[in-house]
Amino acid sequence: MRNQERDKEQEELAAQVIIYEDTNHRIKFKGEDAVCSMDVAYTEDCAFVSCDIIRGKTGEWINTFVTVHPLPATPYESGYFAYYEGPLLEECLQILNKKYKFVPSLVIVDGHGLAHPRKFGIACWLGLRLNIPTIGVAKKPMLKYNTQLGDGKGSIAPMLLDDEVVGVAFRSNKGVKPIFISPGHLISLETSIYMIKRFHGEYRIFEPIRRADQAVRKASKGEEGDYELIDY
């Protein structure tokens, strides 16, 4: 069932999202600028949010933080993922900012950006809230894409909404299922693809997102790992 109030709000907020069209647009990282990739895992009574941090200029891994939060007060509704998980991502970054004065130059989330039925995935929501460039990288699509996606590593097929290219299916390695890249805010589609390719790694899933996913899963089970836990 559609939530008409949410639909209208998403459409209004989507109009505020800035996606650059300049194919030469690039984020020029300075030495200390950081890229953070984020994911969330849940238990019966807590949400665990991970923030994997690399140097934007070199791709050097710095740290992976995991923060612990109460479960979202807003019930999950299909198509409105941003309202459920977005506040957790925002709160995690607020905690890191308060504790370490940490402000990322780019945030990459496990979810969609523009490649959403109302052009307002979680990466768009977070980008607007933070006024920071964001990218969405998802494991499953919300929109159809060109079925002629090649089998080779690096193959790309556009994802369309009303004849507009809003993201791409990207085959990160030969023979694996694609991942789905779309810009969130203050970035172009071309730069989004470039950034994911640049820092991707050897597995199907974008490497910093993979580390973030591993960290939250281990933290939610009480297992040790290469992460720093910050309890609430």
Mean pLDDT by 10 residues, the chain (232 residues): 85 96 79 96 96 96 97 89 96 96 97 97 98 97 85 93 95 93 96 94 94 97 96 68
Q: Which two structure tokens, joined as six digits, stand for 122?
A: 């979680």
Structure tokens at 147: 């079925």
The pLDDT assigned to 75 comes to 86
Phi, psi of 177, deg, nearest 5: -65, 150
Please tell me the distance from the alpha carbon of residue 201 to that of residue 172, in angstroms, as a whole number.
9
Q: What is the pLDDT of residue 91?
A: 98
The answer to whether 127 and 104 are in contact (CB under 8 A) is: no
Reference 135, options 16, 13, 15, 20; nearest CA is 20
pTM of the model: 0.95
Residue 222: per-residue pLDDT: 95
Q: How far apart are the C-alpha atoms of 188 and 226, rounded to whole Å?
A: 32
Three-state DSSP class for residue 157: strand
Q: Which fold has domain 29-138+181-230?
A: archaeoglobus fulgidus dsm 4304 fold (3.30.2170)
Per-residue confidence (pLDDT) for residue 24, from 0 to 100 = 65
Find out whether 50 and 152 touch, Cβ atoms under 8 Å: no
Structure tokens at 167: 């993201």
The domain ranges of the chain are: 29-138+181-230
**Residue among 212, 208, 143, 150 at smallest CA distance from 178:** 150
pLDDT, residue 19, reads 96
Q: How far apart are CA 92 and CA 150, in angstroms?
A: 38
Distance separating the N- and C-terminal Cα atoms of the chain: 35
